[in-house]
Amino acid sequence: MTPTLRQLLLAYDAQRPRTQQVEIGMSQLGACRRQTGYMLAGIPGDEGFEENGVQAVLGTAIHEVAAKGARIMVPGAHAENLRVKFGGLTGHPDFYHEGVLVDYKSVGYTMQLEDRRRHGPKQRELWQAHTYGAGLILAGYPVHTVRLNWIARDSGEEFIHEESFDPDVVWDAMAWLEQVRTSEPAMLERDYRPDSAFCKSCKYFERCWDAPRGTDDRHVLFVEDPDAGQWALRLWDATEDRKRAERRIRDAKGALDHLRSVSRPGQKEYISGLGLDDDDLIEIRVTKGRTTPDMEQITTDYQRAGATPPMVTGEPVIHIALVKRRADD
């Protein structure tokens, strides 16, 4: 049998010491608290679970090649060859040289890079990088600058965020870790939801979310907090928030339509200088109207032929909403 590329990548990753590492590392800081709690408690994953770490392997490959490049361009640098400890966690900084710590990050898409450019690093990314810095300082290496360097795999574009090493960031990360360590895993917050990529790839999915067929996985939230009134109130508040947000979006788009000068499908224009960041533009484009089956005509044609249009019945759809009581209820 000739193995597939995916199988080759996973086979290589499975034998790496860091893949076989059981204890959590600094990269786990700020991840899902429930998942981290299960890992700290040594609880095994779901029966039959198979890791799908291809994306992680690709990220690892980038790091290993970057480390080799660093040794060529900056011979005196430490690249992937330092093992540091802080707060009971182990970490392997990507790059360190003369007080500057660099943490390399790869993302799949340029749009993820744009998110970092617009909103800055995610909290867990800062926690990991600054905790690397704390570990280096503890090991006798001075750190004054922390740099995060992202690259998008689909375009090769980069974004770099740099800031001074800040002990307060490390203390925040340690407070998070202490709360996880001192709590029962099943009492910890789920920081992601069952339809997220994070949960779908988690080895504890069934322990957290598994539900009988036809039942929403989130039903376990009610099992843990059986206050129907509070859940109904949350539904009401969220529905009203969504209505207000959708109204603001319609108002803003409608007002900006005053600036439009294109009108034919395929045309688009970009408008700048509206008080936004220099890299932010308003895009206005015109597309063809959506083409959909004319069900009324199709039904008429079938009736004329004395036949019924073929139909497919899907799974039952559950609708949950707050409504006003009617007089006859």
Q: How confident is the model at residue 55 (pLDDT cuts 50, 70, 90)?
A: confident
- pLDDT surpasses 90 at 144: yes
Q: Which residues of 301-325 are buried (b: 16+ CB within 10 A; e: fewer)?
A: eeeeeeeeeeeeeeeeeeeeeeeee
pLDDT at residue 197 above 80?
A: yes
Instruction: Fill in the amino acid letter for 179.
Output: Q
3-state class of 19 per DSSP? helix
C-alpha atoms less than 13 angstroms from C-alpha of 207 in its C-beta half-sphere: 20
- Residue-wise pLDDT for 100-131, tens only, equals 999 999 988 888 998 998 889 999 999 999 99
Neighbours of 181 (CB within 10 A): 13
Residue 29 has, within 13 A of its CA and on its CB side, a CA count of 30
Reference 186, options 216, 217, 223; nearest CA is: 223
Give the chain's end-to-end CA distance (angstroms, integer).
66
pLDDT score of 326: 76
pLDDT at 17 over 70: no
Q: How far is CA 191 from CA 199, 226, 272, 293, in A?
A: 9, 20, 37, 41
- Domains annotated on the chain, with CATH: 5-207 (3.90.320.10), 227-288 (no CATH)
Q: Is the Cβ–Cβ distance between 246 and 271 less than 8 Å? A: no
Whether residue 19 is predicted with pLDDT greater than 90 in this model: the reply is no
For residue 52, pLDDT over 80 is answered with no
Task: Report the run of H or E that residue 100 belongs to, with start and end.
Answer: strand 100-107
Q: What pLDDT does 146 receive? A: 97
Which tokens in the block code for residue 320? 């949950």
Q: Which of 3-12, 28-37, 239-248 has the lowest mean pLDDT?
A: 3-12
pLDDT at position 272 is 85
Instruction: Give the integer Cα–Cα distance in Å for 170 and 146.
Output: 12
Q: Assign residue 108 a region: left if phi > 0, alpha if psi is -120 to 50, beta otherwise?
A: alpha
Does 213 have pLDDT greater than 80? no
Find which of 132-136, 149-153, 219-223 is predicted with most confidence, using mean pLDDT. Answer: 132-136
Report the C-alpha gap between 38 and 28 in whole angstroms: 12
Q: Is residue 164 helix, strand or coil?
A: strand
Q: Which secondary-structure segment (H or E) carries 154?
A: none
Q: What's residue 258's pLDDT?
A: 93
Residue 231 phi, psi (nearest 5): -65, -40
pLDDT given at position 61: 81
pTM: 0.78
Q: What is the predicted pLDDT for the residue at 53?
A: 65
Helices (H), 97-210: 110-119, 123-138, 167-181, 197-200, 205-209
* Tens digits of residue pLDDT in 297-318: 999 999 999 898 888 888 887 7
- As a whole number of angstroms, the longest Cα–Cα distance in the chain is 86
Least confident of 13-22, 41-50, 86-95, 252-261: 13-22
Q: What is the pLDDT of residues 229-283, one digit of tens each?
A: 999 999 999 999 999 999 999 999 999 999 999 999 999 999 887 777 767 788 9
β-pair partners for 152: 107
The predicted structure's pLDDT at residue 16: 66
